[in-house]
């Protein structure tokens, strides 16, 4: 297990007004709407989600770095748990032509509006019960998804990722190291159910038997 940052540059490219998120209106209602993971979350107001989640190529450098680190080659199979609209999976196909990609997401809206080139490789499903055989994939990733699960489901999801992977595994979740980062996270988040320090995440990985790599998104 290693702490590996592939995402920080993408995370920092988005400006965030933490206090503005809280003062914009009824944040509890915004969060309730966001957790439906439908149009309002993906392509509605910024108060309830992304404010329009569109392809812009920002994930290609991430895919290239991950492909190089994990030694991906044509014919390898990669699974993205919580793939959204499939943008990162598409970039993997550009970084390593010939990869076999599979994406799973709980949101029918995201899958219906996925990038055309990968839509056929995406399925609706839940991270707590992956519909794949043991050791099916050379790389399993989950980006900004697992923190949306409550702890009992989170444990199951980590065990499922471990079960279906036969090679590299990488998960990214929200986290914090300081009180300021914790406050910013609470101000900004809409869908989080679990958020911990890196040390707590590592404890949970050990408890569940997850052996892959990880990183946290910090709001500073």
pLDDT number for residue 14 = 86
Place of tokens 């297990």: 1
Nearest to residue 157, comparing CAs of 141, 168, 139?
Answer: 141
- Provide the H-helix boundaries in 16-173: 18-23, 27-34, 39-43, 60-69, 87-95, 108-112, 151-164
* Burial state string for 183-220 with b = 16 or more CB within 10 A and e = fewer than 16: ebbbbbbbbbebbbebeebeebbeebebebbbbbbbbe
- Secondary element (H or E) of residue 201: helix 198-208
Per-residue pLDDT in tens (0 to 9) along the chain, 220 residues:
899 999 888 988 888 999 999 999 999 999 999 999 999 999 999 999 999 999 999 999 999 999 999 999 999 999 999 999 999 999 999 999 999 999 999 999 999 999 999 999 999 999 999 999 999 999 999 999 999 999 999 999 999 999 999 999 999 999 999 999 999 999 999 999 999 999 999 999 999 999 999 999 999 9
**The domain 8-217: what is its CATH number?**
3.40.50.150
Whole-angstrom CA distances from 162 to 80, 87, 90, 105, 132 are 13, 23, 23, 18, 12
- Secondary element (H or E) of residue 8: helix 8-12
pLDDT number for residue 12 = 84
pLDDT number for residue 90 = 98
Nearest to residue 169, comparing CAs of 130, 135, 122?
Answer: 135
Domain definitions of the chain by residue range: 8-217
Task: Give SS3 for 45.
Answer: coil
Rounded CA-CA distance 24/70 in Å is 42
Nearest to residue 59, comparing CAs of 49, 69, 67, 47?
Answer: 67
pLDDT number for residue 68 = 97
pLDDT number for residue 108 = 98
- Secondary element (H or E) of residue 185: helix 179-188
Place of tokens 């970084």: 95
pTM: 0.96
């Amino acid at each position: 297990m290693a702490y590996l940052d592939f995402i920080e540059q993408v995370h920092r490219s988005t400006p965030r007004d933490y206090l503005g998120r809280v003062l914009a209106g009824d944040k509890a209602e915004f969060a309730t709407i966001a957790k439906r993971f439908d149009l309002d979350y993906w392509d509605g107001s910024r108060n309830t989600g992304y404010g329009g989640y569109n392809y812009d190529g920002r994930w290609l450098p991430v895919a290239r770095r991950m492909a190089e680190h994990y030694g991906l080659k044509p014919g390898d199979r990669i699974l993205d748990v919580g793939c959204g609209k499939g943008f990162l999976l598409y970039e993997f196909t550009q970084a390593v032509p010939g990869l076999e990609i599979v994406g799973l997401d709980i949101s029918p809206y995201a899958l219906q509006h996925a990038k055309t080139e990968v839509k056929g490789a995406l399925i609706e499903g839940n991270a707590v019960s992956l519909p794949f055989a043991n050791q099916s994939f050379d790389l399993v990733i989950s980006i900004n998804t697992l923190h949306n699960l409550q702890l009992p489901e989170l444990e199951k999801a980590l065990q499922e990722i471990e079960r279906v992977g036969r090679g590299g595994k990488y998960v990214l979740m929200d986290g914090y190291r300081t009180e300021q980062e914790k406050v910013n996270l609470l101000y900004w988040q809409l869908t989080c159910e679990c958020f911990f320090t890196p040390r707590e995440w590592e404890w949970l990985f050990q408890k569940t038997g997850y052996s892959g790599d990880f990183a946290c998104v910090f709001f500073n």
